[in-house]
A and B are shown apart, each in its own frame.
Chain A
Amino acid sequence: MSDPSTTSRPILEMRHISKRFDATQALDDVSLALYPGEVHALIGENGAGKSTLIKIMTGVHQPDSGAILLDGAPVRIHNSQEAQTLGIAAIYQEPMVFPDLNVAENIFISHRNRGAFVNWGKLHRDAEAILAQLDVRLDVRMPARGLTLAAQQAVEIARAISLNVRVLIMDEPTASLSAHEVNQLFRIIESLRNKGVAILFIGHRMEEVFRVADRITVLRDGRVISSRLRAAPEELDAQRELMIREMVGREVSEFFAKSTVPRGNLLMSVRNLGKEGVFSGITFDIYEGEVLGFAGLIGARRTDVGLALFGIEPADRGEILFEGRPVQIKSPDHAMKLGIAYVTEDRRGLGLTLPMSIASNITLPSLRRYLSALGLVRRKEEQHTAESYRKRLMIRTPSVNLEVAKLSGGNQQKVMLSKWLNTQPRLLILDEPTRGIDVRAKAEVHHIINDLAAQGLGIILISSDLPEVLAMSDRVLVMREGRQMGVFSRDEATQERVIMAAMGQKVSPNGRPQSAPATQAVEL
Chain B
Amino acid sequence: MNELRRRFQPEQIRELVLIGLILALVLFFSTQIENYLHPRTFTRISTSVAVVAIVAVGQTLVILTRNIDLSVGSIVGFTAYATGTMLAANNDLSPPAVVLMAVGMGAAMGAFNGVLVAYGRVPAIIVTLGTLAIYRTMLVEFSGAKSVLTSELPRWLVNLPPLNAFSIGDVEIRLLFMIALIVVIVFQIIVTYMAWGRRLYAIGSNPDAARVAGFPAQRMVFTAFLLSGALAGLAGFVFLARFGNITVVAGQGIELKSVAAAVVGGVNINGGIGSPFGAFLGALLIDIIDNSLIRWLAISEFWRNALLGLMILLAVATDTVVMNRLRKAWLRHELQTSSAGLSVEQEGARHAT
Q: Is there a chain B Cβ closer than 8 Å to A54's Cβ?
A: no
Across the interface, do B205 and A118 meet the contact criterion of CB distance under 8 Å?
no
- Are A523 and B334 also in contact (CB < 8 A) when A97-B209, A101-B201, A142-B340 are? no
Across the interface, do A100 and B204 meet the contact criterion of CB distance under 8 Å?
yes
Other-chain residue from A96, A118, A136 in contact with B342 (beta carbon distance below 8 A): A136
Chain A contacts for B346, CB-based, 8 A: 520-521
Across the interface, do B195 and A117 meet the contact criterion of CB distance under 8 Å?
yes
Chain B contacts for A150, CB-based, 8 A: 342
- Are A105 and B339 also in contact (CB < 8 A) when A96-B209, A141-B6, A146-B334 are? no
Interface range for B? 35 or more
Across the interface, do B9 and A521 meet the contact criterion of CB distance under 8 Å?
no
Q: Is there a chain B Cβ closer than 8 Å to A524's Cβ?
A: yes
Q: Is there a chain A Cβ closer than 8 Å to B330's Cβ?
A: yes
Chain A contacts for B199, CB-based, 8 A: 109
Chain B contacts for A142, CB-based, 8 A: 6, 334, 338, 340
Q: Is there a chain A Cβ closer than 8 Å to B212's Cβ?
A: yes
Other-chain residue from B214, B272, B338 in contact with A100 (beta carbon distance below 8 A): B272
**Smallest distance from the beta carbon of A466 to chain B beta carbons, Å?**
11
Across the interface, do B351 and A183 meet the contact criterion of CB distance under 8 Å?
yes
Interface residues of A in 132-151 (CB under 8 A from B): 135-139, 141-143, 145-147, 150-151
Chain A contacts for B340, CB-based, 8 A: 138-139, 142, 146-147, 151, 524
Interface residues of A in 98-137 (CB under 8 A from B): 98-101, 105, 109-110, 112, 114-118, 120, 135-137
Q: Is there a chain B Cβ closer than 8 Å to A84's Cβ?
A: yes
Across the interface, do A98 and B342 meet the contact criterion of CB distance under 8 Å?
no
Closest to B215 in A: A110
Across the interface, do B215 and A112 meet the contact criterion of CB distance under 8 Å?
yes
Other-chain residue from B196, B331, B338, B352 in contact with A139 (beta carbon distance below 8 A): B338
Q: Is there a chain B Cβ closer than 8 Å to A393's Cβ?
A: no
Q: Is there a chain B Cβ closer than 8 Å to A154's Cβ?
A: yes
Work out how many contacts link A and B, with CB atoms closer than 8 A: 137
Q: Is there a chain A Cβ closer than 8 Å to B320's Cβ?
A: no
Across the interface, do B342 and A137 meet the contact criterion of CB distance under 8 Å?
yes
Q: Is there a chain A Cβ closer than 8 Å to B240's Cβ?
A: no
Q: Is there a chain A Cβ closer than 8 Å to B348's Cβ?
A: yes
Across the interface, do B353 and A499 meet the contact criterion of CB distance under 8 Å?
yes
Interface residues of B in 207-227 (CB under 8 A from A): 208-210, 212-215
Chain A contacts for B343, CB-based, 8 A: 135-137
Docked Cα-Cα span, A146 to B349, in Å, equals: 21
Per-position contact with A for B321-353: 1 when CB-CB < 8 Å, else 0? 000000100110011101111111111110111
**Smallest distance from the beta carbon of A321 to chain B beta carbons, Å?**
33
Per-position contact with B for A181-207: 1 when CB-CB < 8 Å, else 0? 101100110000000000000000000
Instruction: Find the residue from B201, B208, B273, B349 having the highest chain A CB count within 10 A.
Output: B349
- Are A116 and B201 also in contact (CB < 8 A) when A110-B213, A184-B345 are? no
**Smallest distance from the beta carbon of A447 to chain B beta carbons, Å?**
31
Across the interface, do A96 and B213 meet the contact criterion of CB distance under 8 Å?
yes
Across the interface, do B353 and A500 meet the contact criterion of CB distance under 8 Å?
yes
Q: Is there a chain A Cβ closer than 8 Å to B194's Cβ?
A: yes
Across the interface, do B348 and A183 meet the contact criterion of CB distance under 8 Å?
yes
Q: Is there a chain A Cβ closer than 8 Å to B193's Cβ?
A: yes
Instruction: Find the residue from A84, A139, A183 having the highest chain B CB count within 10 A.
Output: A183
Across the interface, do A520 and B345 meet the contact criterion of CB distance under 8 Å?
yes
Per-position contact with B for A222-233: 1 when CB-CB < 8 Å, else 0? 000000000000
Docked Cα-Cα span, A84 to B331, in Å, equals: 33
Q: Is there a chain A Cβ closer than 8 Å to B198's Cβ?
A: yes
**Smallest distance from the beta carbon of B180 to chain A beta carbons, Å?**
24
Across the interface, do B331 and A118 meet the contact criterion of CB distance under 8 Å?
no
- Are A183 and B352 also in contact (CB < 8 A) when A98-B209, A138-B339 are? yes
Across the interface, do B202 and A116 meet the contact criterion of CB distance under 8 Å?
no
Across the interface, do B272 and A99 meet the contact criterion of CB distance under 8 Å?
yes
Across the interface, do B215 and A522 meet the contact criterion of CB distance under 8 Å?
no
Docked Cα-Cα span, A115 to B193, in Å, equals: 11
Count A-side interface residues using an 8 Å CB cutoff. Answer: 51
**Smallest distance from the beta carbon of A249 to chain B beta carbons, Å?**
33
Docked Cα-Cα span, A187 to B342, in Å, equals: 11
Q: Is there a chain B Cβ closer than 8 Å to A179's Cβ?
A: yes
Q: Is there a chain A Cβ closer than 8 Å to B164's Cβ?
A: no
Q: Is there a chain B Cβ closer than 8 Å to A4's Cβ?
A: no
Across the interface, do B206 and A117 meet the contact criterion of CB distance under 8 Å?
no
Chain B contacts for A137, CB-based, 8 A: 339, 341-343
Other-chain residue from A136, A143, A499 in contact with B9 (beta carbon distance below 8 A): A143
Docked Cα-Cα span, A513 to B215, in Å, equals: 49
Closest to B212 in A: A80
Other-chain residue from B202, B204, B273, B335 in contact with A522 (beta carbon distance below 8 A): B335
Chain B contacts for A499, CB-based, 8 A: 352-353
Q: Is there a chain B Cβ closer than 8 Å to A81's Cβ?
A: yes
Docked Cα-Cα span, A114 to B331, in Å, equals: 30
Across the interface, do A138 and B342 meet the contact criterion of CB distance under 8 Å?
yes
**Smallest distance from the beta carbon of A23 to chain B beta carbons, Å?**
27
Across the interface, do A101 and B202 meet the contact criterion of CB distance under 8 Å?
yes
Chain B contacts for A154, CB-based, 8 A: 342
Interface residues of B in 199-255 (CB under 8 A from A): 199, 201-202, 204-206, 208-210, 212-215
Chain B contacts for A490, CB-based, 8 A: none
Chain B contacts for A118, CB-based, 8 A: 192-195, 198
Docked Cα-Cα span, A184 to B346, in Å, equals: 9
Across the interface, do A520 and B349 meet the contact criterion of CB distance under 8 Å?
yes
Docked Cα-Cα span, A112 to B215, in Å, equals: 8
Instruction: Find the residue from B194, B204, B340, B351 having the highest chain A CB count within 10 A.
Output: B340
19 additional A-B pairs beyond A80-B212, A98-B209, A118-B195, beta carbons within 8 Å, are: A84-B214, A96-B213, A100-B272, A105-B198, A109-B202, A110-B213, A114-B195, A117-B193, A117-B195, A139-B339, A142-B6, A151-B340, A154-B342, A180-B348, A183-B352, A184-B344, A520-B346, A520-B349, A523-B345
A sample of 25 cross-chain residue pairs with beta-carbon separation below 8 angstroms, ordered by A number, consists of A80-B214, A81-B214, A84-B214, A96-B206, A96-B212, A98-B206, A100-B272, A101-B205, A110-B214, A110-B215, A114-B195, A116-B195, A117-B195, A118-B198, A137-B339, A137-B341, A137-B342, A139-B334, A146-B335, A150-B342, A180-B349, A183-B351, A184-B345, A505-B353, A520-B349
Closest A-B pairs by Cβ, 4 of them: A96-B209, A183-B348, A137-B343, A100-B272
